[in-house]
Amino acid sequence: MRFPVDARVIYKWVDATGTRREGEGRTINISEWGVYIRSQNHPPQGTPLQLKIFLSPVPITLPSLPIVMDARVVRIEKGNLDPALRGFAVEGRAVDVR
């Protein structure tokens, strides 16, 4: 089951040359063990990465608690899709609320 969630996300990975990379996007939806991220840039499929998702506080008086997730890229959506939907899907491996 997926839930529509629009939240800022920062993702980090190490590329094939050993260089640390970072990107930023917005979530489109979140499930118990996965996230779809709207972004023009993405790591290659199969890449392990770490996400930091910044959910809006609920209720407004509480601070935002970021969700940190170790994940792996499982699907990349590009091509003729609406640019607002281009991005990639990840499968979570470990989740922590900090």
Q: Are 39 and 23 in contact (CB under 8 A)?
A: yes
What pLDDT sits at residue 96?
A: 78
CA 65 – CA 48 distance, rounded (Å): 23
What pLDDT sits at residue 95?
A: 77
Which among 13, 61, 62, 6 is positioned nearest to 30, based on CA atoms? 6
What pLDDT sits at residue 58?
A: 67
CA 1 – CA 69 distance, rounded (Å): 18
Q: 36-93, pLDDT tens digit by residue?
A: 999 988 999 999 999 999 987 766 666 677 889 999 999 998 766 677 778 999 999 8
What pLDDT sits at residue 65?
A: 75
CA 53 – CA 55 distance, rounded (Å): 6
Domains of the chain by start residue, with CATH: 3-97 (2.40.10.220)
- Reading the block at residue 67, the tokens are 């969700």
What pLDDT sits at residue 83?
A: 73
What pLDDT sits at residue 85?
A: 74
What pLDDT sits at residue 46?
A: 97
pTM attached to this predicted model: 0.85
What pLDDT sits at residue 81?
A: 65
Taking the alpha carbons at both ends of the chain, their separation in whole angstroms is 24
